[in-house]
Amino acid sequence: MLIVTRGIVLHTVDYSETSLIVKAFTEQFGMQSYLVKGVRKTKSRIKRNLFGPLSLVEITANRKESTALSIARDVSCQRQLNGIASDINKSAVAMFINELVYRSIQGEMHDQQLFDFLYDTIIRLDGTTEAVAGFHLVFALQLAHHLGFGPHDNYTRSTNIFDLEEAHFRQGLPDHPHFLDEKLSALFHEMIGLSQEDPLPENFQHATRLALLEKTMEFFRLHVPSFGEMKSHHILSEIFRD
């Protein structure tokens, strides 16, 4: 069956001497793998540069329910991400988003709301003229909500410790090490209420952002099976030092 779907490129692997296996989160079928034949040839009709991290593409492919690898017949660009390509800060955030999504979405999972959220996020990152030092933090919490384990914002003066395992604020320390202290919990509460368009409050300095990012990654490791260890967030900690 020949299908056409929008997709977000998340991962590529060289295959044979001239081809690629591309993993993309698609609008119609969730996470899918495609064999793109001959794309690494100089005169290939489908260009290799279509498959960068978070590329927004339209894929025409032969799809069979019985196989995990579909053959792509055509791939076209849906939108040029020139803002991300030309800005080192945006590129670093995009790399983080790409890795976080790739590690978090496991198995085929059609989800229109999740696809729309990711697609709109990429376009927003590409086009924003605001600072993006906190963009990835807000995105991660919003992604957690879409994946079903978003933090419950029940913060009060008494419930002022965020329990990473239970995903809510609690009174007193839990009997495990996966929690935020009172200071970080208060900042985490502030972060939950932000949108991608909101600038970070002035009290979110570099050390604070780094601590919150590390705890957010711990949060994902606790709730996503086989999540593993992120790498790209270390780049963010070096770029956003101000």
Mean pLDDT of 122-135: 93
Domain 82-239 indexed as CATH 1.20.1440.120: yes
In angstroms, the Cα distances linking 230 to 190, 218, 222 are 24, 10, 13
Q: 189: which residues sit within 8 A by CB, 6+ positions away?
A: 153, 155, 162, 169
Three-state DSSP class for residue 199: coil
Assigned CATH for 2-79: 2.40.50.140
In angstroms, the Cα distances linking 188 to 67, 162, 194, 210, 220 are 43, 8, 10, 12, 15
Question: What is the reported pLDDT for 201?
Answer: 84
pLDDT in tens, 44-100: 889 899 999 999 999 999 887 767 789 999 999 999 999 999 999 999 999 999 999
In angstroms, the Cα distances linking 192 to 5, 40, 58 are 32, 43, 33
242 confidence band (pLDDT: 50, 70, 90): low
Would the CATH topology of 2-79 be identical to that of 82-239? no
User: How many Å apart are CA 117 and CA 109, to the nearest integer?
Assistant: 15
Q: pTM for this structure?
A: 0.93
For the chain, the structural domain boundaries read 2-79, 82-239
Closest CA to 189 of 172, 173, 174, 204: 204
